[in-house]
Amino acid sequence: MSIPPPVPSLAEASAAIAAGTLSPVALTEGALARIAALEPRLNAFITLAADRARAAAAEAEREIRAGRRRGPLHGIPYALKDIYDAAGLPTTAHSRVLGLDNVATADATTTRLLEDAGMVLLGKLATHEFARGGPTDPLAWPAAKNPWNPAHFAGGSSSGSGTAVASGMVAMAMGSDTGGSIRLPAAFQGIVGLKPTYGRVSRHGVVPLSFGMDHTGPLTRTVEDCAMTMQILAAHDPLDPGSADVPAGDYLSGLKAGVRGLTIGHARAFDEAASLTPEGAAAMAEAVRVLRSLGATVVEVALPPMRRFEAASWTIIHAESFAIHQQHLRSTPDLYGRVTFERIALGAFVTGPHYVQAQRLRSLLTAEVDAVLAGCDAILCAPASGAAPALADVDEGPWRRQQPLTAPFNLTGHPAICIPAGFDAKGLPLSLQLVGRAFDEAMVLRIAHAHEQATEWHTRRPPEDQA
């Protein structure tokens, strides 16, 4: 049986709908057909809302035909990591602790924004349990697979979001990022993942892991699609105590302005601290070459030592996640996967002074990264040591010995994006990370777009016999 083709990008679908050559119903049916063909092997979805999607697509089609097109994303399917509320659907967080009985009565703010834009919700996606567990925990639903090679890690915790986008089931899926959980699935699956500035996109209606470190944002196949989504998502939300009342940027008007005249700071020592693989290091060197060839000035910059970031980040994450889960950890520990339980239980070791010191250190580290960004338009570094590890090699202990290079920017709140940067000898994607000034997602997207358009990595697809 032939596999239906991957869905078009948001930009392609939007243009085709505007031209009248593609209907929301046909687009949605195409997505559902691809999901039906691939889902048995990839496990991207926990809840597939096919009937709801068909009804929403039909309604979008009626509105558009009647001349009431709401905007560029009207009638285009999307999906949500299953920690986002969507009224009428269960929010499981991929956990027996919540389960399918936990039906949302209202939309998350982000869900509401996407629905108001006329997007068509296909369903809820797999995650690491409560955005904290690991890919090998036996849970009520299977773990999402990496379409480039199912024996390798899909990244996490927004694993299903990465899988659904990378495999062409959907052009955009929402993820969440507390230490890298949008950017790492994007990095390991060859797509784009943006963690916006802390406070830029609402967290209201999203199951929390760590109040001060949680960010919400999109995963897409292209940078332009990411920018199109941010046009919808960037808004002040009074329902989110961490939401910043800062005017939303225009993420599309300057997207194609290129990088000539910009200065990009390469955090080489930061990369070296992560012990990049030779292929990972070569990908970063190539990224520097590409950006220079496009007219950017690339200079080396020094970020604070990784150990300071890790101490502050993990103290906050451990303490806050333990505070959220402590009753369930005591009363129903068996409902958690082993990895999730042990990682959240680490919060039992955090003292009050630890937590306050971590937040004080956070102030200093944020200022230090701000100071680096005062001298350049963005920081370039790797997101991880290399390509997705084999599942058998994923560290599933409570204490992970090697941390990715993503969590520092959860701590400082700066916007950070991962985009494709090459492939290793096994055919697995490599990625680079760009970090911008607070609330300057537009610059991060502009640089990412320039790199993307100068390379061909984003055009490659997972092998169909595996995807």
Tokens of 170: 């959907």
Which part of the chain contacts another protein (CB under 8 A), choosing from 10-18, 121-129, 294-302, 352-360? 352-360
User: Torsion over CA of 290, 296, 300 and 301, rounded to 10 degrees?
Assistant: -120
For residues 203 and 54, what is the distance between their CA atoms, to the nearest angstrom?
A: 27
Does 19 engage in binding with another protein (CB under 8 A)? Answer: no
Does 88 engage in binding with another protein (CB under 8 A)? Answer: no
- Return the number of the residue (155 or 199) whose C-beta is nearest another protein: 199
Question: Which H or E run includes 227?
Answer: helix 223-233
- Return the number of the residue (204 or 451) whose C-beta is nearest another protein: 204
Among 363, 395, 454, 463, which residue interacts with another protein (rule: CB under 8 A)? 363
Does 246 engage in binding with another protein (CB under 8 A)? Answer: yes
Annotated catalytic residue within 14, 23, 81, 167: 81
Tell me how far CA of residue 183 lies from CA of 32, 355, 440, in angstroms.
Answer: 26, 26, 17
- Return the number of the residue (33 or 306) whose C-beta is nearest another protein: 306
Which part of the chain contacts another protein (CB under 8 A), choosing from 71-79, 261-269, 345-353, 384-392? 345-353
- Return the number of the residue (277 or 326) whose C-beta is nearest another protein: 326
CB of 209 to another protein, least distance (A): 15
- Contacts with another protein by CB under 8 A: the residue count is 49
Which part of the chain contacts another protein (CB under 8 A), choosing from 123-131, 259-267, 312-320, 372-380? 312-320
Which part of the chain contacts another protein (CB under 8 A), choosing from 80-88, 121-129, 160-168, 340-348? 340-348
Does 356 engage in binding with another protein (CB under 8 A)? Answer: yes
Catalytic annotation present for 81: yes
Residue 4, Cβ neighbours under 10 Å: how many? Answer: 18
Residues 173-202 binding another protein (CB under 8 A) are: 197-199
- Return the number of the residue (214 or 279) whose C-beta is nearest another protein: 214
Among 1, 399, 456, 465, which residue interacts with another protein (rule: CB under 8 A)? 399
Tokens of 101: 């009985």
Does 314 engage in binding with another protein (CB under 8 A)? Answer: yes
Helices 223-233/10-19 angle, 10° precision:
80
- Return the number of the residue (214 or 225) whose C-beta is nearest another protein: 214
CB of 187 to another protein, least distance (A): 24
For residues 313 and 66, what is the distance between their CA atoms, to the nearest angstrom?
A: 51
Catalytic annotation present for 157: yes
Residue 99, Cβ neighbours under 10 Å: how many? Answer: 13
Sign of the alpha-carbon torsion through 148, 11, 6, 220: positive
Tokens of 175: 């993820």
Residues 204-243 binding another protein (CB under 8 A) are: 211-212, 241-243
In the block, tokens 């990591």 appear at 81
- Return the number of the residue (141 or 314) whose C-beta is nearest another protein: 314
User: What are the helix (H) ranges across 374-440?
Assistant: 408-412
Among 364, 371, 390, 454, which residue interacts with another protein (rule: CB under 8 A)? 364
Which part of the chain contacts another protein (CB under 8 A), choosing from 11-19, 47-55, 178-186, 347-355? 347-355
For residues 466 and 110, what is the distance between their CA atoms, to the nearest angstrom?
A: 32
- Return the number of the residue (77 or 249) whose C-beta is nearest another protein: 249
Does 311 engage in binding with another protein (CB under 8 A)? Answer: yes
Which part of the chain contacts another protein (CB under 8 A), choosing from 40-48, 80-88, 281-289, 391-399? 391-399
User: What are the helix (H) ranges across 237-351?
Assistant: 268-273, 278-293, 306-331, 338-345
End-to-end Cα distance, the chain: 14
User: What are the helix (H) ranges across 241-305?
Assistant: 268-273, 278-293
Among 398, 423, 453, 464, which residue interacts with another protein (rule: CB under 8 A)? 398
Tokens of 66: 């009647």
Contact of 38 with 6, CB cutoff 8 Å = no
Does 402 engage in binding with another protein (CB under 8 A)? Answer: no
In sequence order, which residues have a C-beta less than 8 Å from that of residue 366 and are 6 or more positions away? Answer: 411, 412, 413
Q: Residue 82: is it exposed, middle or buried by C-beta count within 10 angstroms (0-12/13-18/19+)?
A: buried
Tokens of 23: 């209907």
Contact of 90 with 63, CB cutoff 8 Å = no
Annotated catalytic residue within 159, 167, 181, 321: 181
Residues that bind another protein (CB under 8 A): 197-199, 211-212, 241-246, 307-308, 310-312, 314-315, 322, 326, 329-330, 333, 338, 342, 345-349, 353-354, 356-364, 366, 397-399, 401, 413, 438-439
* Catalytic residue list: 81, 157, 181
